[in-house]
Structure 1
Amino acid sequence: MKLVGISGALAGDKTSLAVNDVLVAAKLLDSTIQTELIDLREYEIEFSVGAPLAEYNDDTWDVVNKILSADFLVFGTPIYQASISGALKNLLDLFPENAFKYKVTGIVVTGWSNKHFLVPEYQLKPVLSYFKGLVPTGNVFIHNDSFNEESDEIINRNISERIQKLAEEMIYLQRGINNR
C-alpha cells in the first residue's frame, strides 16, 4: 500500500512536519507501506481554471497523478481565517468527483486558535467526502503551542498519541477496503 501525505501550507514547517509524523507512524506500524510527502511549497501548482488536467504545467500534472495513484492519503492544512489554506483548496479543485473513491483520507490541521478545532470537520471533511474519500473519525487538530518553538517538533504527548491512533485507524480502514 502507498500512503501519500499532502501538506497544504505554503509558509512555515509545522503542517509539513505534522503530516510527515503521520507517515512515519504508519511506516512504524507496517514497514511494507510506502510513503511519500507532497509539500506544496516545493511545487508550482497552477491556479485551477476548470481546464482539463493535460493543459496544466508539469508540477500540477505530477502532483495530481501522485495523489490519484496513492492507495490512501493524509491531508494537512494550516487554518487561515477559519478555513483550509487556499493552496490546498486550489489543489482539490483539480480533481474529478470520484478521485478518492475507495481511499481513506485522513486529516491533520495546525492552527493558532483552539476556536478552529472544528474547521477540519466542517471545511475539509465535506470536500473529501464529496470526492468519495473515507474520512476516519480521528482527525488531528494541533495548536501551535504543541510545537517546540525552535525545532517545530511536536512536544505535546497527547497530540503524538492522536497521530499514532490516526495512522492505526487509516491503515485498518484501508486494509478493510482493499480486502472487500
Structure 2
Amino acid sequence: MKIVGLSGSIVGSKTRTAMENVAKEISEKYPDVEWTLLDLADYNIQFSDGRNYLEYEGDTGYVTKTIMEADAIIIGTPIFQASIPATLKNIFDLLPVNAFRDKIVSMLVTAGSSKHYLIAEQQLKPILAYMKAQIVQTYVFIEEKDFHRREIINDDVIFRIARLVEDTALLTDTYTKIREEKEAKYDF
C-alpha cells in the first residue's frame, strides 16, 4: 500500500509538524506501508497551464506522478484567509479530473482559529469529491493553541491523528479488496 502525505503550503511549520506526526504513526503502526511525504515547501512547483500531468518535468512532474501512483493520500493544509492555500489548489489544478478515482483521501487541517473549522467541509471536500476521491469523512482539525515550539501538545490531537491514519489504512485496504473481488468476476 502506497500512502502519500501532501503538506499543502510553502510557508509555516504547523502543518509540517502535524504531517510529521502522521509519518511517525504510520511508521510505528504500519511498517509495510510505503510512505512518502510531499511537503510543497521542498519543491519548486510550476503553475498549472492545462497540460497533462505527465508532460511536466522536474519537481512538478515528480509531485504529480507520486500523487497519481498512490493508493491513499493524506492531505495536510493550513487555512489562510478562510481558504485553502493557493499552492494546494494549484496541485489539484495540475492533476486530471479523475485523479483520485479509486484512492482514499483523508485530511488534516491546521488553523489559527476555530472559526475556520468548516473550510474543509465547504472547500476541500467538494474539490476532492469532484476529483472522484473516496473521502475519509472525519478529519483532524488542529488549532494554533494545540502547538508549542513546533510540537503538538494536545493529547487529543495526537489520538485523532492516530485514528485518521488507522481509518485511512483500513479504508484503503478494504476498498482495494472490494475492487479486486469485483475485477476478478471479469474474465478479461
Bucket of the pairwise TM-score, normalised by the shorter protein:
over 0.9
Q: Secondary structure at the match of 1:102?
A: coil
Q: How many residues align?
A: 178
**Contact kept? 1:138, 1:165, Cα under 8 Å:** no
Worse-superposed segment, 58-67 or 47-56? 47-56
Counterpart-to-counterpart distance in 1, 2:17 and 2:2: 19
Counterpart-to-counterpart distance in 1, 2:20 and 2:127: 22
Give me the identity figure in percent: 40
Counterpart-to-counterpart distance in 2, 1:128 and 1:18: 21
Q: Secondary structure at the match of 1:76?
A: strand
Deviation at residue 94 of structure 1 after TM alignment: 0.7
- Cα-Cα RMSD: 1.2
Residue number in structure 1 paired with 2:32: 32
Deviation at residue 55 of structure 1 after TM alignment: 4.4
Q: Does 1:73 align with 2:40?
A: no
Runs of 4+ in 1 over 6 A off after TM superposition: none
Residue number in structure 2 paired with 1:58: 58
Deviation at residue 54 of structure 1 after TM alignment: 4.6
Q: Secondary structure at the match of 1:24?
A: helix
User: Mind listing any 5+ residue stretches in structure 1 that lack a counterpart?
Assistant: none
Residue number in structure 2 paired with 1:115: 115
Residue number in structure 1 paired with 2:165: 167
**Contact kept? 1:138, 1:162, Cα under 8 Å:** no
Residue number in structure 1 paired with 2:176: 178
Deviation at residue 74 of structure 1 after TM alignment: 0.4
When Rg is computed on C-alpha atoms for both structures, the one with the higher figure is 2
> Which TM-score applies when normalising by structure 2?
0.90
Counterpart-to-counterpart distance in 2, 1:134 and 1:54: 23
Residue number in structure 2 paired with 1:140: 140
Q: Does 1:96 align with 2:96?
A: yes
> Which TM-score applies when normalising by structure 1?
0.94
User: Mind listing any 5+ residue stretches in structure 2 that lack a counterpart?
Assistant: 179-188
